[in-house]
Structures are given as structure tokens and as C-alpha cells.
Amino acid sequence: MTPPVTTPTRLLIAALGGEGGGVLAGWITEAAVASGLVVSRTSIPGVAQRTGATTYYIEMIAAVTGKPRPVLALNPAPGQVDILLASELLEATRLAGTGMLSADRTTLIANTARVFTMDEKMAMADGRRDSDAMIKILETSARHAILADFNAIAVTAKAPLSAIMLGALAAAEVLPLSADALRAAVRHEGKSVAANLSGFEAGFAAISSGATSSIAAVAPSPEKKVVAVAEFPARTSVVAAEGVARLTDYQNAAYAGTYLDHLRRFAAMPDVDDALLSELARHLAVRMSVEDVIRVAQLKLRAARLARVTAEAKARPGDIVDITEFMKPGTDEILGLFPPLLARPLMRLATKLGLADAAMPLTVTTTRLSGFLRLKFLAALRGWRPRTHKFHEEQIWLRHWLGLVEATAKRDPEAARELIATAKIVRGYGATYKRGMTSFERIASTLVEPALTAAHPPPDLADQILQARIAAEKDPEGAALTATLSAIALKPSRILQAAQ
Amino acid sequence: MEVSFRKEIANLKLGAGSTFHGEGILAVTKALLQSGVGYVGGYQGAPVSHLLDVLLQSEDILAELGVHLQTCTNEAAAAALLAASINYPVRGAVTWKSIVGTNVAADALSNLASAGVIGGALIVVGEDYGEGASVIQERTHAFALKSSVWLLDPRPDLPTIVRMVEKGFELSEASNTPVIVELRIRACHVYGSFEAKDNVAAKVSTNARLADPAVFDYAKLSHPPVTFNQEIDKVTRRRPAAEQFILDHQLNEFVGPADGDVGIIVQGGLFNVLNDRLTAAGLSDIYGNSAVSTLVLNVTHPLSSRQITEFCAGKKAVLVVEEGAPDFLEQAIGQILRKADLQTKLHGKDCLPMAGEYTPLVMADGLAKFLKLQTVQPTVSSPLEGAAKGGGATSARLDSAANVLTNWLTEHQSRVTKVAGALQTPLPARPPTFCTGCPERPVFSAMKILKQETGAVHVAADIGCHAFGTFAPFSQGNSILGYGMSLASAAAVSSVQQKRPVSIMGDGGFWHNGLLSGVASAAFNKDDGVLIVMNNGYSSATGTQDLPSSRPNDEGRGKGIEIERSLRALGLEWIRRVRTYGVSEVKQTLDAAIRSKEKGLKVIIADGECQLARQRRVRPALAAAVAKGQRIVRQRFWIDPDICTGDRSCIRLSGCPSLTVKPSEDPLRSDPIAHVNNDCVGCGLCGEVAHAAQLCPSFARIDIIQNPGPWDRFKRTISAGLMNLSGAREAAL
């Protein structure tokens, strides 16, 4: 006779509010009750709102006749959790960070898909946490880590994530409950039974087939047919080909030729390697194809968009899909279409009238004739573009940037690399674009230009530019950039140079 | 629209011989019905909302048993409801979230406690303390002490909770005193089972009304001079009666050996976490067979001096396990021991922390310290073989238990350190936020855009979903002073600020307190401020309960009492109504309110139905309509991945869960771009913000005409044909 079990099975569920963690915990509880176990489940759902991190905790143990009611704990004890079921990667890692997982004890079943936190989403640069690092932590924290992209399985199975997770839990065979007991709980609960059961089976199959080690990666974008530009070294040749394709589409072959001319000039310089040149090729192509009103209209008219939108919006065959664009060109963007000789006085007038920051809100339905024709007219201005004020201004900026890069590359290729990357802060539209432009000018005039004229340029110029670029993307108000630039100005190395 | 509780209601109908399976708060509800309760009321709030939510949908049970149900507009009204038990032998129960609700109820509670009750009066409070709590961290215990009402803190085990509710009524009647049953968050939500009993119809109820009102009895009034006698009666008669009842009915429980050198006195609500750690330390087991003599206080006020004295007599030391500050129990026990001249060493907050939740880690640390003290102190005798007196654990066993706990804590610390090292920087927090499509988010978008344009103003925040406006990306709000208190809290601020302060209040807060404490006071004092009332139609943060101003409909209890009319009745003139999703309009209206030359309170009623409630209603209806082949236009937003440059200004002005990021598909760009996922409900905020803030042209609204009619198809065909003639095909290239 086997001795009765004296410790309960302890299961912790990490979830985001509103995504079905409660339903999942409910199924497990129901299955345990139906299987004759004594079960306790608690949660801290708090407010009814969505997306906050939350947990559910379940303990279950076989009832023993003649014994009093088991005293089950309401709080998970770190390191003594048998199973952690996590619906999101960062939340699983968060619990690992609180010491919840034990390498001797815990079976971890975690979704590797991400739901980004506000901090990650609102960062101006790339604020996303490194998924690979988190996966590595999880793999070493648990006794057995079952990691898979359950979102991908859910999409294929057209079932809720909670059902997939339940199937995965059943397949892991760590509960004192049979898979059939869990299936029965889904039926008993009675809501969307068919979808939930098919989700359960999908999750079950994915885990029991052992497909868990292969974490579904982001599908690579379809290979485009770009012909490498053979005259450049390996990396640059690929990027330059992308650049040429984009700029030909943006303007014409001659314009793409100008792009190649710029690259050739740099390629001929002694200290410019493939890494530096390919980065220049990348940023230059982006900056030369600035999204002016004409470009936006051109992109919005691509017929491929409708098919894509229809698929993304899960429209059914036979549904009619309309796309209504929200645009709000500002005074400078509209006047930017005029030739410089006309645009400049008009801009002065607009400033005088207090209309410099004005903008015209437009909604344009591109899937209907009238909206289509309006954008078609704008896109047709492509040939006119080189005569516009906006194009003219962009050329001035490009010359300025390329000149600085060239001069810097001669003295300090590392700094040139950073200066090239700094071009990315000039992006976006409206106020965002102006802010990026201002930040770039501040970095150029405070750090780069003095270094180029100084007898002894600072040895850490590359690092200074890097720090400034990161700061420029810290906050939209530019406070971090101001702080960083003044901190650099006060650095001893600078004072020393001044003394010299 | 309120949530449906079909299954829970079936649970409330169970009779003797059936087993109830469900959450703690529903077990309490069932226990009320088993106790012959005559009336129930309260104010919603996590974690006790379900008590009222479920009863609201249980008309047949209530009608059969004759139970009156009152949806109180605040906790003061709920406490006052219990006044029926002062004069009449009718049992009543009310519920609210504590400490905040108890604060609001304090005045009525004091008066109720002074007069005393003849019908059992029970207050079920959700002790919102520790992880998952959403309010200030204070103890309900203080109110029990100051008002001389009794406080039950049952073991978080359904049979015990149910028994305490049933006994609570009897205790209340035996001592003519209201009784508070305190349940922590996890206890309210704990799922378990108990053997049900038949529901009992109240002797006095809506089905059995009394013919005559109570005879005039001045002694039942909380009014001098009888209040002086009531104060004496509380301590000379009611309290001894309560103590006697507690002993007679064994409301407190003894666990483990009767004697031994050491003992533990624990609040009932903390017993499970204590037993779990004692078990881990090898001093107890899953059945609560503790090797340490333990007194489980299911009643934490009043304490019986006799019981405490008897428990401590013969023990060298006791540990009081009492969560939160101040250490009321420890002080009381210390006084009892001193007066009884017992030399038992008293431990509590010297081993365990004065403030904060007693999690397994905290409990283990405190226990280890306590157990160590018992083994290293020279005063503790270590007889031969370490055999302790009676059934208690030996000194050696206590020492080894302490080591087990300490080792566990050390291992835990090393795991935490290891992960922290691997992470390098701490993970970002993930607080709750506005739901996808929430009507309150656009108001904060408008406020943020206005702030960028004209500078900051003082913002008085309030309790409710809109308090999420204090989180990123909005980070707005200078103070929170309680539910419906924002306007009152800005009254003096407006006199020391050049710019008018803006107060935010929900319709829930407006009816709870804001109308009188805020608006009437502002009108009376001619305060110069701005008030935004978020009129989403429900008390959403507590679970979308109906409010006086909720739309009257078949399922709900809304009465359609207009907020605007109540404001006009108070003589306010500057009142504007805006649709919350109209960001530009909200921004302009708020700007006008802040700059207006007019003096006095300016109110903006921001209308937009709670999206959680709306989706609950609309989604099944739309799905059914589509299935039936009706023409339905579904809307959602989309971001053009070719046009988004990845600066994410949009996210900083929205924070919508469905507005997220994804890798750029552009081989020439490295930063991720913004992306609208399929959770989008098409609220329109993205488009409004894109226009209000001049963001970028990446946003597009997608209209999906499901089951299009012949006219739709005809228009589409014509349009597509003309577009092709105009060169749509070339544009595809």
C-alpha cells in the first residue's frame, strides 16, 4: 500500500488581467473537484480592468478518509511551486526573479510570445527586453522548462490562449489529474466548448510531440529580388541594392545614381570599412527617401495594401473592406510642395499670421474613387519633387550630414560610425520630425563641429555621440539630451583640452 | 450591463445534504441566507463586490426568503442601513471594501455601535491589504477598537468562514453589538467547499412585516444623555457578554499540543500561511497537526483575558502573529499578561515586521527569529535529551526547524540574486491600465496634448478607473484623497495657483461623495476650478455595477438620474458635455474651461460608455446579427507599416493595450514600429489623436462591411472600375 500523499500539488498561474487566466484556473479547479481531490484556489484579481500582471494559485491534494480537512495555503511559497503556468514571457521571468521557480522542483510551462509593457512600447528607441535572455533565465531556473510560442498555436487553432495552455499542462503530465478530467472540465464549464477543446488538443499535441524546443521565430519577410551592387564589399552591396530599389521607386534611377555616387566617394576613403559603409548605405537610403506628402500618397496607393489589410483585419470572403486614412499635413508640409522662392515668403507670412504650426486634418478613403483621386494627384507630383522647398531643405541637410561624416571619418572612424547612426533620430512627421532635426543639430554643433576644428579632438568622441543619441531618444522634451550635453561639456578631458 | 451570475445563484439555493463549491465571498453570501438574514446592503468594491452582484440577480431567492436588498450609494448609507437592527429583532448584513469604506461609514458606525442592536448586525469587509490591494494600507481593527464593535478574522477555510458568519449573528445578538467579519483578498477569492444547510426565512422580513413601529425608547438613541450610559454599557455588559459567548461557543481554536514551552497566537486569517511555513520547517503537517501550541483567533476583538491567560500560563514564550500596524493584539496581550503577572516572554513585532503583508517569506523569517530565540536564550531550560515539557517540541527540534527556514530563505535569496544578475536591469512593472477602447483614455490623451501645448496644471485625481491616468504614458495627477474627493481636495489649491486646477471624478465618485463634498461645496464657496466628470455609466472599477445615473434598461438597476440636471440644480452654469473620443473637442473644451474669464466652477461632463460593459453587450449581439446575415460594419484601426517610422509618439499619447510594437519589415530600419493588434475595438482614439496632435499619416481606419448588400457591392464595383481606369493598376507597381 502506498502511503498517502502528504504534500499538495502547487500550481501557480501567471497571467495578464482579462486574457482568460481566471477561466484557466477555473477549469483546473473543476477537474480537481470532479476527480475527488481537495482543492483550493485563490487569486488577487483586484480591479476589473485588463492587462495588469496578476496571478492565480492552486493547491490540490487527495482526500484521505479519517483525516481532518487539509490546510491549504493561499500564498505561493517561492521555490516550492511544482508547476508555473505563464501566459507571457516577461511575466514568467518576473516570477523567476522573485525566486518562485526551483531548479529542483518546478515544471515551467511558459508562452514565449510577448505582450509588451508600457515602458517597452513607449520608448523612443527600441525599448523591448531581450527575449533570448529571458528564455535563458527560465531554462536555467526551472527543473523542466517547456517553452513554446503558444500564441502561434492559438492563431493556427483559432482558439483562446487559455485553452492552449490547458492542453500543454495536460501534456506535461505534472498534475494529479488526467487529460480527460481536464477535457471534461472544459465541457462542464460550457462556454465556447468546441473552440476551447480544439485549443486544448492543439496545445496538448504541441507539447506531447516534443516540439517545444523549437521556439517559433518571427517569420522572415519574403525574400525580395534585389540585385546586389557588386562594386561594393559584401554587406554594403546588399544594403545598397535595397537603397537603389527604394530610391528608384521614390524618385527615379538618376536619383538612385546620386545615392551610389555618395557611397562611392566614401568607399574610396582609406579608413572606411564594409561595416561603416553598409551602415551609411542604410541610413542614407532612409534619409534620401524622406516621407514627404508625395511619398505618403504613393505608399498609400499600393494595391497590395488592400489584400494585406483584408487578411490582417480577418475579413471574410465576400466582406467589403474600406480603408480610411487619417492625415494632417501641416503648413510647412503643404508649403513644402512649393518651390523655395515661393515657399519661403509664404512661410514667413504664415508665421506672421500665427499659422506656422497649423495643420489640416483630412480623412481620405483610398478604396473609393474620390479619395483615390486626391491621393493620386499628390503621388503624381513625384516628378515635381526636386523643385520643391521640402526637397531643397532635405538636400541641404544631407550635404551637411554627409560633410560632417566625411570629415569625421578622416579623423575618427569610430565617431563617424556613431554620427551615421545619429541620422535615425531625424524621422517621423510634424512635431516629431522637427524635434529630431533640432536634436541632431544640437549634437552636431555641440559635439561634432568643435571636435573637427579642435587641435586635439576628444578621444571619446564616438562615445559622446552615442551617449547623446541615446539621450535624444530618452524623452520627447529633450531634457535628457540637455543633461547629457552639459555633462559632457563638464568632463575633465574637455577642461584639460581647453587648458592645452 | 452587469455580469451574469447564473452558476453562483444556483449555489445559493443549495440545501442540507448538498456540498457548496465556490469562492469565499459567495460562501459568506450563502451563510447569510442560512442565518435568516432579513436585509442586506452595501457598497461595491473589490474583493467583496460579488456578494451584492450575485444577490442583485437572485430576486427569486430574495423574494422567497423575504430579504430586502439595498444598493447603497456609499458605505455611510450601508452602515446606517443597520439601524433597522437597533429597534427590531431583524438580522441585517452589509458589505464594503475596507479600510476606505469603513472610513466613509465611520460616523454611522459609531452611532450604531453606541445604541447597540437587538437583531444581529454583521458587516462583511474585504480587508484590502497587501498584494493586489488598491487602497491605502490601514487596519480595520482600529475601528473595532474605537467603536467597541467585535471583529472576526476567520481562518480562510470555507466551513470556518461560514460558521463565523452564522456565529457572528448570534454573537451580535448575545452582546447587542454589531460584528465585523474581516476577509483578506485571497480569502474572499479562495475557492473551496462546505456542507450546505437549508436557507432560513427571516422571522421579521418583507414577507413578515411588523404591524407596529418600535415603542419610543430614548435609550435607543445615540443622543445625550444616554450616550454616556451606552459608553459604559459597551464595556461593562456588552463586552463581558461577548467574551463569554466566544468562550462558550469556542469561536477561537486551539491547534497542536495543549502545553509546551512555546506558543503562537495567530489571527485566524493568517493561520494557513503560518501552518504552511511550520510544515516546511517540519513542525506541522498538511492537516494542521502543529508541534507548537497555537491559539487561532477567529475573533480578534474582543480578546478574552481568561483565554489568553490560560493559554500563556506555563509557557516560556509566545509569538503573536498579527499583520499590519499598529500592533493592537500584541499590546492587548502584553497588558493581559502583565495584569495576570505572567512571566511568559511576549514576541511579535520584534520578530515579524511591524508593517506590510505576512507573505510566506516574511512569515518564515519571523518564525526563524522566534524559534532561534527559544534555543539560544539561557533562560530556556534544556533538560536532558532536550525533552520539553508535555507535548511541545524539543529545543533541538525548534532549533533545527529554525535552520530549515533560514536555509530556505538563503536559497531564495541566491535564486533572486542570480536572476537579477542575469537580467542586469529590473523588469518593467505592468500595472493595470485602461481597457482597450476605454472611453476615459481619450480624455487623458487630450490632457497630455494640452499640457504639451500650454503647460502643466494641477490635477486632482480620484478613485476609479481614471486613476490609471496616473500611470504611464499619461502620468497625470498630483493627489488622491479618496473616492469622490478630487474636487474638494483642489479647493485650496485653486487659491494658490495662477492656473485653475483640474479635478477628475468618475460618475461613481460623483454619486458616492463628489456631488456634496465637492460640487455643492464649490458652488457654495464660489470655488474657481475645473471638474471633469467621467460619465461612463457604471461603477466600472468595481465590476460595472449600475449607478443612479446609469441608463434604465431591462437587466440593470439604472434610474437615469441625470448628472447634468443635478449640477444645474446646484446653480452651476458653466457646464459642457463632450464625447470623450473626440480628443480635439475635449482638448478645446478643457482649454476653454481653464482660460475662461468666468469665475466659479466649470464642469465638463465627458460622456462615453464603459467599453468593458459595452463589449459585453454589443459583441454577442453583433455576432448573432452577422450569423443571421445582417449587414454589419465592423471597424478597427491599422498602422501602415511602410509609413510608420517607429518614433512611437502615438503610444505615448494613447497607451492602448491593442496599440503595440512589432519588428520593422523595412530592411533599412532597425527600430520596431507601432502596430494595432486584433484586439482593437475601433473606438476611434487612434485617428482622433493622430489629428489632435498632428502625429503622422500612418493611421487608417478599416471598415469591414460584413454581409454587404447589393447596393454596397454595386458602389464598390463602380468605384473599383473607375479607379482602375484612373490608373489604380499602375499605382500597384
pLDDT tens digit string along A394-432?
999 999 999 999 999 999 999 999 999 999 999 988 888
Strand order in the sheet with B293-297: B253-255, B293-297, B262-267, B317-321, B345-347
**Residue B691 pLDDT > 70:** yes
Positions of CATH 3.40.50.970 in chain B: 6-247, 441-613
In the stretch 196-235 of chain B, residues with CB closer than 8 A to chain A read none
Closest by CA to A245, choosing from A259, A232, A235, is: A259
Question: Is the peptide bond between B9 and the residue preceding it cis, with omega within 30 degrees of 0?
Answer: no
**A297 in the same domain as A201:** no
Closest by CA to A312, choosing from B665, B732, B726, is: B665
> What's the CA gap between B50 and A346, in Å, rounded?
65
**A204 in the same domain as A306:** no
A306-310, B22-26, B91-95: segment of lowest average pLDDT: A306-310
Write out the E strands in A63-177. Answer: 83-86, 107-111, 144-148
Its ipTM equals: 0.94
Mean pLDDT to the nearest integer, B236-265: 96
Q: What is the pLDDT of residue B731?
A: 44
Q: Which overall architecture, per CATH, does domain B441-613 show?
A: 3-Layer(aba) Sandwich (3.40)
In the stretch 412-441 of chain B, residues with CB closer than 8 A to chain A read 412-413, 415-416, 419-420, 422-423, 426-436
What residues of B are in contact with residue A245 (Cβ under 8 Å)? none
DSSP state of B553: -
CB B274 within 8 A of CB B189: no
Mean pLDDT to the nearest integer, A304-309: 85
Q: Of A208, A225, A255, which one is at a domain's C-terminal end?
A: A208
* Residue corresponding to grid cell 455576432: B623
Q: Coil, strand or helix: which one is B39?
A: strand
Strand-pairing partners, residue A57, are: A12, A42
Owning domain of residue A61 = 9-208
Query: Is residue B280 less than 8 Å (CB to CB) from chain A?
Result: yes
> What's the CA gap between B569 and B431, in Å, rounded?
39
Tell me which long-range contacts A267-275 makes (C-beta under 8 A, separation of at least 24).
A267/A231, A267/A232, A267/A233, A267/A236, A269/A406, A269/A409, A269/A410, A271/A409, A271/A410, A271/A413, A272/A409, A272/A413, A273/A233, A273/A413, A274/A232, A274/A233, A274/A234, A274/A235, A274/A236, A275/A235, A275/A417
The full DSSP string for B393-440 is PPHHHHHHHHHHHHHHHHHHHHHHHHHHHHHSSPPPP----PPTT-TT
Q: With 0-12 CB in 10 A as exposed, 13-18 as middle and 19+ as buried, what is A226?
A: middle
Q: Render pLDDT for A103-115 as a digit per residue (tens, 0 to 9).
A: 999 999 999 999 9
Mean pLDDT to the nearest integer, B203-218: 94
Mean pLDDT to the nearest integer, B384-396: 59
Helix (H) or strand (E) holding B174: helix B158-175
Q: With 0-12 CB in 10 A as exposed, 13-18 as middle and 19+ as buried, what is B432?
A: buried
Which of A326, A363, A437 to probe the B interface (max B CBs under 10 A)?
A326
**Quick one: closest CA in A to B463, which residue?**
A47
Domain for residue A17, yes or no?
yes
Per the CB < 8 Å rule, is A300 touching B697? yes
Domain for residue A156, yes or no?
yes
Q: Model confidence at B376, in pLDDT bands (50, 70, 90)?
A: low
- HEC-encoded secondary structure of B362-398: HHHHHHHHHHHHHHHCCCCCCCHHHCCCCCCCCHHHH
Positions of CATH 3.30.70 in chain B: 631-690+697-731
Q: Which fold has domain B6-247?
A: Rossmann fold (3.40.50)
Q: Report how far apart, in Å, the C-alpha atoms of A102 and of each of A22, A87, A95, A140, B426 are.
A: 24, 19, 11, 9, 20
Q: Report how far apart, in Å, the C-alpha atoms of A319 and of each of B331, B619, B635, B702 are.
A: 72, 18, 12, 12
Mean pLDDT to the nearest integer, B163-175: 98
**Quick one: closest CA in A to B665, which residue?**
A221
Residue % of chain A over a pLDDT of 70: 93
Domain for residue A159, yes or no?
yes
CATH number at residue A148: 3.40.920.10
Domain for residue A304, yes or no?
yes
Q: Model confidence at A2, in pLDDT bands (50, 70, 90)?
A: low
A475 contacts: CB under 8 Å, gap ≥ 6: A124
> What's the CA gap between B142 and B324, in Å, rounded?
11
* Residue corresponding to grid cell 500539488: A9
Angle between helices A430-443 and A479-489 (to 10 degrees): 0
How many CB atoms are closer than 10 A to CB A264? 12
Q: What is the pLDDT of residue A497?
A: 55
**A297 in the same domain as A163:** no
Positions of CATH 3.40.50.920 in chain B: 252-413
Q: What is the pLDDT of residue A218?
A: 38
> What's the CA gap between A396 and A400, in Å, rounded?
6
Helix (H) or strand (E) holding B114: helix B100-115
> What's the CA gap between B147 and B150, in Å, rounded?
9
Q: Of A208, A236, A258, which one is at a domain's C-terminal end?
A: A208
**Residue A313 pLDDT > 90:** no
Candidate from B542, B707, B732 with C-beta closest to A302: B732
> What's the CA gap between B562 and B566, in Å, rounded?
6
What residues of A are in contact with residue B428 (Cβ under 8 Å)? 90, 117-120, 129
Q: Render pLDDT for A156-190 as a digit per residue (tens, 0 to 9).
A: 999 999 999 999 999 999 999 999 999 999 999 99
Q: Coil, strand or helix: which one is B52?
A: helix
Domain B631-690+697-731 has CATH 3.30.70: yes
A354 contacts: CB under 8 Å, gap ≥ 6: none
Domains of chain A: total: 2
CB B411 within 8 A of CB B418: no
> What's the CA gap between A36 and B447, in Å, rounded?
55
Closest by CA to B430, choosing from A100, A57, A94, is: A94
Domain B252-413 has CATH 3.40.50.920: yes
**A176 in the same domain as A307:** no
Q: What is the pLDDT of residue A215?
A: 42
Please give the torsion angle defined by the CA atoms of residues B298, B301, B306 and B309, in that order, rounded to the nearest 10 degrees: 80
How many CB atoms are closer than 10 A to CB A134? 25
Candidate from B411, B427, B432 with C-beta closest to A51: B432
| Top-confidence residue, B304 or B6 | B304
Q: A494 CA to chain B: closest CA distance, Å?
A: 31
Domain for residue A408, yes or no?
no
**Residue A217 pLDDT > 80:** no
Q: What is the pLDDT of residue B128?
A: 93
Closest by CA to B444, choosing from B563, B534, B545, B335, is: B534
What residues of B are in contact with residue A321 (Cβ under 8 Å)? 702-705
B547 contacts: CB under 8 Å, gap ≥ 6: B507, B508, B511, B537, B538, B539, B558
> What's the CA gap between A328 and A362, in Å, rounded?
6
Closest by CA to B503, choosing from B472, B471, B474, B467, is: B467
Q: What is the pLDDT of residue B384?
A: 39
Average pLDDT of the residues of chain A: 90
Question: Could you report how far apart the first and last alpha carbons of chain A are, in Å?
Answer: 89
Q: Of A340, A368, A387, which one is at a domain's C-terminal end?
A: A387
Q: Report how far apart, in Å, the C-alpha atoms of B609 and of each of B43, B606, B615 are.
A: 21, 10, 10
